[in-house]
Structure 1
């Protein structure tokens, strides 16, 4: 299968693309490369540096399926330039979906976000609950979902709402909770927790990328799926990090009210099973750091890097 992956050089894409290649897929990796390109050359890999906002730059010739990862990732980055966020995360999605439908491409897999639910009082957040997004990032994800579902008669649309992803990637991110707290412990011996009691869902990067492969292999599972398997408080994650890295935990007040438990029963009913845990991610990161294969660098923090290199 010839698969177009947008955002292919990002945190998840850099793990997903090698897996697609290992399964004998031909991959077109499309990315603007604001954060560089960590993909290794491969005979079945074509890397295209381009802007997803310009559909003329995206060659759909021979493409059988699209895995659409490209977006302005996370709330702080989305709020930096709302116009850019809407153009990249929503308008470009609409243009790409329309182009795919016109070309007869029958498979479209979209990486949404578990944050589209907003603040929820329900103990279990399921796919049928009302979406109340509270940031530009969340809002663009919700709108992109609605746009893609309008094409469900033209192609198989599979939408994944991932929890917060954790674990090692060649294109690392240290601005997501598990990774960030682990790096704080390693470099400072001190973990700063804001609030601490907020519960958030998590998913290992190996599991989320395996899920994309699973859905690609199983087009009968169309629709929307939550993907989060460990609902942990920030303080619980910090205590888990402490078990592997001697460190002090400091709790500070937080103005972020979000606390929710994602229910992924619908996904589990398809037969998909996660194979990795938050603790696995922590141990991986600790091992990579101590081997010298992971460092605390500005380019692994989206907001800091975008301010300095993209929007400066």
Structure 2
């Protein structure tokens, strides 16, 4: 199968693309490369540097499936330039879906976000709950979902609402909770926890990328799926890090009281099973750091990199 992966050079894309190639697929990786390109060359991989907002530059010739990862990732980055966020994360998705239909692409897998639910009081957040997005990032993801569902009769549409992803990627992210706390412990010997009682869902990067491969192999599973398998408090994550790194924990007040548990029973009913845990992610990062294979680079902090003006 020939697969177009947008955002192929990003945090998830850099782990997903090698898995697709190992499964025997031909991959076209399309990415603006704000944060570089860490993909290893491969005979079945074509990497195209381009802007998803320029739909005419997106290579769709003979593409069988699209895995659409491209977006302005996370709330602070989305709020930095709302116009840019809407153009990339929503309007470009609309154009891509339209072109996919016109060009006969029959599979579309979309990386949405668990944050589309907003603040929920329910103990278990399931897919059918009302979406009440708060930030620009959340709103664009919800709108993109609605757009893609309108194409459900034209192609197989599968949408994933991931929890917070953790673990190592060649294009690392050190601005997501587990990775951030682990790096704090390794570099400073101190973990700063804001609040601590908030429970948040998490998923290992190997599991979320395995899920995209799974969905590609199972077109019968359409619609929307939550993907988060460990609902853990921020304090418990810090204590988990502390088991593997000698570090103290400092607690400070938080202005973000969100606390919720994502329910992924709908996904588990498909037969998909996660293989890794948050603690696996922590141990892997600690090992790589001590080997010198993981460093703290400004490129690994999306907001910091965008504020410096590198993301243009």
TM-score for the superposition, normalised by structure 1 = 0.99
- CA deviation after TM superposition for structure 1 residue 76, in Å: 0.3
Does 1:217 pair with 2:241? no
CA distance in structure 1 between the partners assigned to 2:178 and 2:26 by the alignment: 32
* 1:156-167 alignment, distance < 5 Å: 156-167=156-167
| Partner Cα separation in structure 1 for residue 134 and residue 246 of structure 2 | 36
The CA distance in 2 between the partners of 1:267 and 1:117, in whole Å, is: 17
Q: CA RMSD in A?
A: 0.7
Q: What residue number does 1:17 align with?
A: 17
SS in 1 for 2:309: helix
> Any conservation in 1 of the 2:305–2:311 contact (CA below 8 Å)?
no
Structure 1: state its 5+ residue gaps: none
Distance verdict in 2 for CA 1:311–1:203, change over 3 Å: closer
Q: Work out the CA distance in 2 between the residues paired with 1:42 and 1:165.
A: 26
**SS state at 1:15 partner:** helix
Alpha-carbon separation, structure 1, partners of 2:77 and 2:196: 23
Give how far 1:311 is off: 5.6
Q: Which residue of 2 aligns with 1:3?
A: 3
Aligned residue runs from structure 1 range 1-312, under 5 A: 1-310=1-310
- d(CA) in 1 for partners of 2:138 and 2:198? 18
Count of residue correspondences:
312
Give the CA deviation at 1:3. 0.1
Looking at structure 2, the residues matched to 53 and 19 of structure 1 have their Cα atoms a distance apart, in angstroms, of 26
TM-score by length of 2: 0.99
Query: 2: CA distance between counterparts of 1:208 and 1:262?
Result: 15
Q: Give a deviation string over 1:108-141, Cα, whole Å, max 9, x none.
A: 0000000000000000000000000010000000
State the alpha-carbon separation in 2 of the partners of residues 59 and 168 from structure 1: 29
How many angstroms apart in 2 are the aligned matches of 1:258 and 1:135?
A: 13
CA contact 2:117–2:132 (8 Å) conserved in 1: yes
SS in 2 for 1:309: coil
Q: Distance in 1 between matches of 2:311 and 2:165?
A: 25
- Structure-1 separation of matches of 2:59 and 2:243: 48
SS of 1:310's equivalent? coil
Listed as ranges, the gaps of 5+ residues in structure 2 are: none
Moved over 2 A (4+): 309-312
Structure 1 distance, partners of 2:225, 2:156, is 14
